[in-house]
Amino acid sequence: MSTPIPDPSAAASPVVPQPASLDLTTSMRNAVKLGGSLMVTYGIALAVRLLLPRVLGPEAFGQFNWASEGFTAVFFVLAGLGLEVYIRKEVALRPDHASEFFGGTLLLQGLMAVVLLGVMQGLMHLEGKPGYLRLLVLLLGVYQLFYRCNGTLAAVLHAREQVDGLSVANIATKCVWGGGQLLVLLFRLPLPWLGVPILASEVVRAAVLYRLSRQHAGLQFRVDVRGTREALMGALPFFLNEAALAANGPMGIFLLGFLTNTTEVGWYGAGWNLAGMTLMAAPVLTWVLMPLLARAVAHSQEEFFRLTRRTLEAVTAFSLPLTLAMALGADTWVHLVYGDRFAPAATVLRLQAPILALTYVAIVCAAVLTAMGKGWWVTRTSVVSMVLNSTINLTLSRPFLAWFGPVGGACASALGLFVCEVVAVALLVWAVGRRAYDRQSVIRLIKTLIICGVVTGVHLALAGLGPTRLVVGAGLYIVLVLVTGAVRLDELQGLLRVIRRRGAPVQASAT
């Protein structure tokens, strides 16, 4: 593999390398803190997200999902400016740099939001969308602005490894979000009211995160043209990558709503809410991994790629069984959570489930390439996915709806996203190179895939047992991964010891 080209911005100021053991320990401690916060906030969010479809029904939920996860998300990806990844990569090495661009980029995001809201309202007027849906989009658009700004503030705290207050803020604001939505559902308020607690939670979070950023990271609001220009140029590949990624998720929902109907969006969103349960560790992985990789690559190439290999191995071992359980039990999960009205969503969920294991691998590879100074490669991969996914949605959504009836359009959208993730992971792994894996990781991956195949065969053979076969499959999977060595108990125990020791020095494994 060719030697990575050093990133010029990372070399702009001298870096004092931290000892590897201390760096790993700090990151592990932050992972535990953020993970604990995430579990609480995710539990609240999950309860609301799973309740919404059941209360609203496929049509109303489809309208809400299209407005929140599709239309506003696609437009406001432009307001992110790619700053979050840039901050985790650069501010981890240059703490004072955040104050050089924060004020200028915040003003720019505000101006962009005004323009975007005007364009969105104009398009909805031309399409003849009802007034209540336009009001919901307006509320969610303002929420998106605060959400992007909060992403910047949170990234500063992540980069400076000051996450205690952030963890508490995440829980408090998620309570505002979840409690408000539950009240809206309880009193059967009109659909636009669902946007009020969503916006209120981000406003509260913005106030808290700004105070924390000033207190713990020394963030100052000032407009520095030179610093703003440097940040925008440095974040450009990440910005383009985010814009391209919009086609792989929100754009699919956006097109699905325009090309078919909002009921199809309801099927798709219901399936994705369940499938997304397996992505609960993705935010922690992103928050912790990027600063850790940025320091590791500056400290030692050998250490950097050792960390890469073990991280890829860990996320694969974690995500594959969850993906398998989601796919095999699709009918059961949909029936238990949503009821019979959403039965067609089970077909969509089976197509969505494999995407999630691929997403974990893509997250790690993208972080590795970014740390290596190859952010543009990640951007090119996302652009390829964007073109491919949009083409599949535009080509197959209406034909699938005609051929397969209800849920056909949603299946086309899920299939498009799956194909894109396969292509993206292949390109990203190839870009990282052979040092991303070794004999141990390849053997364990092969063992895990074979075990997944065996469990699937047993599941199909025991069709007469109904949902009970899921318990049988789970037990069989656990036994097989332990017997074959696909997962090592001693390594899991070592990880637990690292977490329990917290502040004690931890030596990285040599394997």
How many Å apart are CA 365 and CA 425, to the nearest integer? 8
Sequence-ordered list of residues with C-beta below 8 angstroms from that of 337, at least 6 positions apart, any chain? 50, 54, 274
**Cβ-based neighbour number of residue 300 at 10 Å:** 14
How many Å apart are CA 178 and CA 184, to the nearest integer? 10
Per-residue confidence (pLDDT) for residue 193, from 0 to 100: 94
Sequence-ordered list of residues with C-beta below 8 angstroms from that of 244, at least 6 positions apart, any chain? 379, 382, 383, 385, 386
From first to last of its 511 residues, what are the pLDDT tens digits of the chain? 333 333 333 333 333 444 444 444 544 455 544 555 555 566 666 677 778 888 888 889 999 989 988 889 888 887 878 788 788 777 767 777 888 888 899 999 999 999 999 999 998 888 888 899 999 999 999 999 999 888 888 888 877 665 556 667 777 787 888 889 889 988 989 999 999 999 999 999 898 888 888 887 788 888 888 888 988 888 887 787 777 766 566 777 888 877 877 888 888 888 888 887 777 666 666 666 766 777 777 777 777 888 888 788 888 888 899 899 999 999 999 998 888 889 898 999 999 999 888 988 988 888 888 888 787 788 788 788 878 888 888 888 888 888 888 888 888 888 888 998 999 999 999 998 888 888 888 888 899 999 999 999 999 999 888 889 999 999 999 999 888 887 776 655 554 443 344 333 333 333 3
How many Å apart are CA 182 and CA 198, to the nearest integer? 11
Per-residue confidence (pLDDT) for residue 285, from 0 to 100: 67
For the chain, the domains span 20-437, 438-503
Backbone angles phi, psi at 374, to 5 degrees: -115, 40
pTM beyond 0.75: the answer is no
* Dihedral angle of Cα 428, 434, 436, 442, to the nearest 10 degrees: 110
Closest CA to 347 of 466, 452, 264: 264
DSSP state of 510: -
Closest CA to 409 of 302, 270, 255: 255
Three-state SS at 4:
coil
Closest CA to 210 of 261, 253, 149: 149
Per-residue confidence (pLDDT) for residue 506, from 0 to 100: 35
Strand segments (E) across 214-368: none
How many Å apart are CA 301 and CA 20, to the nearest integer? 12
Max Cα-Cα span within the chain: 68
**Cβ-based neighbour number of residue 19 at 10 Å:** 10
**Cβ-based neighbour number of residue 46 at 10 Å:** 16
Buried/exposed 67-96: b ≥16 CB within 10 Å, e otherwise = bbbbbbbbbbbbbbbbbbbbbbbbbbbbbe
CA angle 39, 58, 179 (to 5 degrees): 35
How many Å apart are CA 499 and CA 288, to the nearest integer? 14
How many Å apart are CA 354 and CA 358, to the nearest integer? 7
